[in-house]
Structure 1
Amino acid sequence: MTSVVPTAATRAGSGDYGELSQLVRKAGLLRRRYGYYAARIPLNVLAFAGGWVAFVQLGDSWWQLFVALFFAVMFAQLSFVGHDAGHKQIFRSGRANDVVGFWHGGMVGISYAAWMSQHTRHHANPNHEDDDPDIHIPAIAFTTEQAAQRRGLLRWMAKYQAYLFFPLLLLEGFSLHVSSVRALLRRDLRARRIETVLLVGHFAAYLTAVFLVLSPLTAVVFILVHQCLWGVYMGCAFAPGHKGMPTVSNGQTLDFLRRQVLTSRNVRGGRWVDFSLGALNYQVEHHLFPSMPRPNLRRAQPIVRAFCAGKGIEYSQCGWMRTYGYVLGHLHAVGGPLRRADR
């Protein structure tokens, strides 16, 4: 990632966000979309329940691997709703959103409160080299400075991380579960007792169902396929938004509008892309207006893009496959100095 270079316009543009907000508010794009979520949430839950009915009816069969694929998709779709709830996109009440968030976190086996804590810090400081937790991952180096600090196996991984990126995503689902369980050990975790009940209930029900219906070998393969594909799906949904975009270092001063736009990337596509990525393909608009309901992001995109063009602010957007090229190209470049040093 390159660093954002502050300019005079960057430092003087603190009023631009207020101007853009007025345009978005007048367009009615910050209003709740109760009808959308009243349909989306029950349909997701019905599909999820239907998957478990099919799982039981199919019994001990290798055809269950297709059910595992279905559950990988459903876990991601449920996670997207939990993400929306965390940003208060569904209800105006924080408590009502949290009920939906905790419920969906429990269905997929992740800690909603722990995720909220990390994700809030990410939104406040996207791609900040010190303050964004999303670019501080031991297995991946996002800057040459991070790569230079790696030692042993992590150094070898940093050298070839572009090749390892997608294989590492196979572990993302397991990583989400492990980090959630570890979060329960923190006494300062919000709603810790509720989360403990939800996560213990999830793992107990999931493992009991899988090992009760399937033979041990089929059960293990089912879990691996399900969790690995879910991890790849989640990684492919969240990575395009910021990976490979400019970073912000200490001492750089950016107003809110530019801090969010310059470090974010949109993924171009139609409604199928919107559905597949949970509207995270509108990363610029989402970061500017986190509480904007998911279906309104598509309508906000042309307003935000035109506004940025008028202010001379670079607005990044590309196709779905192209964005992974940027991500992998950046990771390969970060590992370059290590490969050259070890020749």
Structure 2
Amino acid sequence: MDASAGETTVPRSSRQQEAADLKATLKHLRTEPRGWVFSLKLTLCVVLTGAGVALALQPVLWCRIVGVALTGAMFAHAAELQHETLHNLAYRSRRANTVTGIVLGLPMLISFAAYRATHMRHHRDLGTPLNREFFDYGNQYGAKGDRSRLAVGLDWAVRFSMAHHYVFFIANLGRSLLGRDFADENALVSRRIRRDHFLAAAVIAGLGALTWWTGYAVIVWVWLLPLLLVAAPVHAVIELPEHYRCETLNRDPFANTRTIRSNRIAMWFTNGNNYHVEHHLMPNLPIERLPALHTEVRDRIRYFHSGYLDFFVKLLRK
């Protein structure tokens, strides 16, 4: 039975100790990041994105539609690959992770530095009232309450349009242009966040200049439509199950997070995000090792679904 955020109180220290003891028995799963594995995933993402862009620029309408859909899907996939770089799991080199992560975040206007700082705090604070996520949709975890249908509808509209994220980006770009630091971040992280926003603004300006020079709506077909119509809702769909209506005031990762045992295509597309309990249990474990961890702990997971379709069907029924 799902419990909404706020329904579970402070966890018992025995559960934290149990999780720590469990992780100690799973040390044999740890391996060093294998850069060649991530490079293969990155190459496939680049190739598919290029194919999507090529189709989106064709004069035939059906080609454009397919191209926009493929490009947008790859934007969302790139955000999942970026998540791996946040944890320095893509490559052994921290610099390689940073550079790759910055580039992967550009299509969806995701600052690598801001995302990383917020995401590390999310791992630290999940299970406490201090927990915040980088992609914050307001009623983030589906807390139940006396809310009107209009309010609930607005929640879903905000989530699947990711309107909050674009407003957040514009506000932070303005702050960057003014040279200001960011709340909760030190001077170094603030400088890196400004760097990411300047790079994203430069890419947008470059696409705008290419559009003006060619007289063709390049920026619309290869970025704006894929971002708004495909990448945003797809990203929201991937992210929604992670903690939605789990026990998010419980420090136990088996209670505050959800795992979805899906097919290989879904695991590739979400870059292992479906194994989210496992990721929160051992966040420094390389993504390709999560299925092995799942085999070890699957009987302990409270919030489990056999596939994304299973999750959303049960969610709609409620």
TM superposition score category, shorter chain reference: 0.7 to 0.9
1:100 — aligned with what? Answer: 100
* 3-state SS of paired residue (1:15): helix
More off after superposition, 297-306 vs 64-73: 297-306
The reply to whether residue 78 of structure 1 matches residue 89 of structure 2 is no
Verify the 8 A CA contact 2:79 2:104 in the aligned structure 1.
yes
- Give matches, 1:1-343, under 5 Å: 1=4, 3-5=7-9, 10-27=12-29, 29-56=30-57, 58-59=58-59, 61=61, 63-126=63-126, 128-133=128-133, 137-138=137-138, 142-144=142-144, 157-160=150-153, 165=156, 167-172=157-162, 174-184=163-173, 185=175, 186-188=180-182, 189-209=190-210, 219=220, 223-224=224-225, 226-248=227-249, 258=252, 260-306=253-299, 308=300, 314-318=301-305, 319-328=307-316
Counterpart amino acid of residue 70 in structure 1: L
Closer, same or farther: CA 125–47 of 1 in aligned 2, 3 Å: same
Distance verdict in 2 for CA 1:95–1:190, change over 3 Å: farther
Decide which structure has the larger Cα Rg and report it: 1
Alpha-carbon distance change, 305 to 195 in structure 1, aligned in 2, over 3 angstroms = same
Secondary structure of residue in 1 paired with 2:245: coil
Which deviations, in whole Å up to 9, do the C-alpha atoms of 1:72-129 show, x marking residues without a partner? 1110111111111001111344333212111212244321222223322322223644
SS at match of 2:91: coil
What amino acid sits opposite 1:316 in the alignment? Y
Residue type of the partner of 2:311? T
- Secondary structure in 2 matching 1:191: helix
Name the CA distance, whole Å, in 1 between partners of 2:79 and 2:282: 19
Q: Tell me how large the CA RMSD over aligned residues is.
A: 3.3
What runs of 5+ residues in structure 1 fail to find an aligned partner?
A: 149-154, 249-253, 309-313, 331-343
What is the Cα deviation at residue 243 of structure 1?
A: 0.6
Q: CA deviation at 1:224?
A: 3.6
Q: How many angstroms apart in 2 are the aligned matches of 1:48 and 1:217?
A: 15
Task: Pick closer, same or farther for the CA change 1:291–1:59 going to 2, 3 Å.
Answer: farther
1:140–1:157 CA contact under 8 A, matched in 2: no
C-alpha separation in 2, matches of 1:38 and 1:171: 30
Identity, in percent, stands at 19
Determine the C-alpha separation between the residues in 2 that align with 1:70 and 1:300.
31
**Structure 1 pair 325/281, CA: closer, same or farther in 2 (3 Å)?**
same
Structure 1 counterpart of 2:310, which letter?
R
Instruction: Report the Cα distance in structure 1 between the residues aligned to 2:213 and 2:56, rounded to whole angstroms.
Output: 11
1:267/1:317 contact within 8 Å kept: yes
> 1:340 is matched with which residue?
none
Can you give the 5+ residue segments of structure 2 that lack an aligned partner in the other structure?
A: 183-189
Q: 1:304 to 1:23 in 2, by over 3 A?
A: same
Q: CA deviation at 1:38?
A: 2.3
| Residues 163-187 of structure 1: per-residue CA shift (max 9 Å, x gap) | x62x444412x54343223223152
Q: 1:19 to 1:194 in 2, by over 3 A?
A: same
- What is the number of residues matched between the two proteins? 301
CA distance in 1, matches of 2:197, 2:223: 25
Q: Which whole-Å deviations, capped at 9, do the CAs of 1:6-44 have from their partners, x for residues lacking one? A: 67xx422443333322332213x3431222112112222
User: In structure 2, what is the Cα distance between the partners aligned to 1:69 and 1:40?
Assistant: 19
TM-score, with length taken from structure 1: 0.74
